[in-house]
């Protein structure tokens, strides 16, 4: 995932100045995708040069000009292209979360297929962890070291179980989006 797609998603949710966007980013997408304010400003400049964004100057002539960024059709097309492609980086949750936010704004674009692929990945991983647990930690007389190792494995099992519950609930919700269309984005 690139920061550009996260920024396009945020700007489709609400056109913003660079400062507003950086603050909104910190309070929303920034919880799972980190970017400095400097990175955000640099990417906004690149995206505008690529024709994905338009910067509308506002403010008094002679005073400090603030630029409010709006996504252009080319930027929307780029976001749709990215969301529609499966992520090749493996089980990357950050990219999936940005794709879900983009789909909330733009409507169905195939995120459900990526979620199904990732759900299969996590199911296989959970099965593997459970096999290790049965093989290595089924005895009653575990040493303290073995008990601690088991706790580490239990954390992995619990993470996978939790991810699968979330994925199942999210897939059910995605099924309703196809029927009802996207809803209005909530403010960050």
Residue 178 has pLDDT above 70, yes or no: no
The CA distances from residue 20 to 25, 38, 160, in Å, are 8, 13, 35
> Domain 3-106, CATH 3.40.50.300 — does that match?
no
The pLDDT of residue 76: 96
Question: What mean pLDDT is predicted for residues 31-53?
Answer: 88
The CA distances from residue 165 to 50, 71, 169, in Å, are 39, 34, 6
Phi and psi (nearest 5°) for 179?
-85, -35
Question: What mean pLDDT is predicted for residues 81-103?
Answer: 80
Question: What mean pLDDT is predicted for residues 24-35?
Answer: 74
Strand-strand pairing, 66-71 and 53-58:
antiparallel
Cβ atoms within 10 A of the Cβ of 188, count?
17
The pLDDT of residue 85: 85
The residue ranges of every structural domain in the chain are: 3-106, 111-180
Q: Shortest CA distance to 119 belongs to which of 160, 86, 88? A: 160
Name the pLDDT band for 32 (thresholds 50, 70, 90). Answer: low
Name the pLDDT band for 16 (thresholds 50, 70, 90). Answer: very high
């Amino acid at each position: 995932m690139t920061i550009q797609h996260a920024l396009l998603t945020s700007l489709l949710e609400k056109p913003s100045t660079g400062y507003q966007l950086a603050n909104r980013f910190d309070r929303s997408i920034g919880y799972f995708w980190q970017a400095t304010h400097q990175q955000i400003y640099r990417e906004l400049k690149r995206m505008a040069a690529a024709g994905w964004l338009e910067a509308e100057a506002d403010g008094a002539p002679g005073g400090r000009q603030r630029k409010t960024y709006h996504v252009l059709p080319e930027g929307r097309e780029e976001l749709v292209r990215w969301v529609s492609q499966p992520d090749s980086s493996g089980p990357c949750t950050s990219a999936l979360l940005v794709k879900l936010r983009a789909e909330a704004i733009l409507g169905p674009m195939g995120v459900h297929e990526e979620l199904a692929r990732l759900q299969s990945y996590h199911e296989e991983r959970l099965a593997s962890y459970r096999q290790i647990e049965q093989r290595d930690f089924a005895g009653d007389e575990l040493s303290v070291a073995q008990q601690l190792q088991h706790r580490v494995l239990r954390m992995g099992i619990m993470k996978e179980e939790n991810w699968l519950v979330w994925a199942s609930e999210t897939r059910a919700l995605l099924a309703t989006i196809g029927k009802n269309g996207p809803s209005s984005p909530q403010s960050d």
